[in-house]
């Protein structure tokens, strides 16, 4: 999911602020992984050994200079 905000500053500048977020609700994606077992009686039966990717947020900003338009006579 991403959020973008364009903010003009005066007549000549435009600032764009953005945030890109993965796993925004931080929902765990659990799995048995390697080394765990689904065999009843095994020492690692049913243990969750690995999880999915955590929440990641990337922020960015961009400054854009607007071109000055020439007036026609």
Q: What is the pLDDT of residue 63?
A: 96
In order of 9, 32, 55, the CA distances from 59 in angstroms are 20, 33, 13
pLDDT mean by block of 10 residues, the chain; 73 residues: 94 94 85 69 76 88 85 69
User: So where are the chain's domains?
Assistant: 2-65
Q: Which pLDDT score, from 0 to 100, does residue 35 have?
A: 62
Please tell me the predicted confidence (pLDDT) of residue 47.
78
Longest dimension (CA), the chain: 90
Q: Which of 17, 34, 29 is nearest to 53 (CA)?
A: 29
pLDDT of the residue at 21 = 93
Tell me the pTM: 0.59
């Amino acid at each position: 999911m991403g959020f973008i905000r364009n903010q003009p500053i005066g007549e000549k500048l435009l600032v764009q602020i953005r945030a890109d977020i993965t796993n925004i609700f931080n929902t765990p994606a659990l799995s048995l992984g390697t080394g765990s077992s689904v065999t009843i009686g095994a020492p690692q039966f049913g243990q969750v050994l690995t999880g999915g990717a955590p929440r990641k947020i990337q922020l960015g900003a961009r400054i854009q200079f607007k071109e000055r338009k020439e007036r026609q006579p």
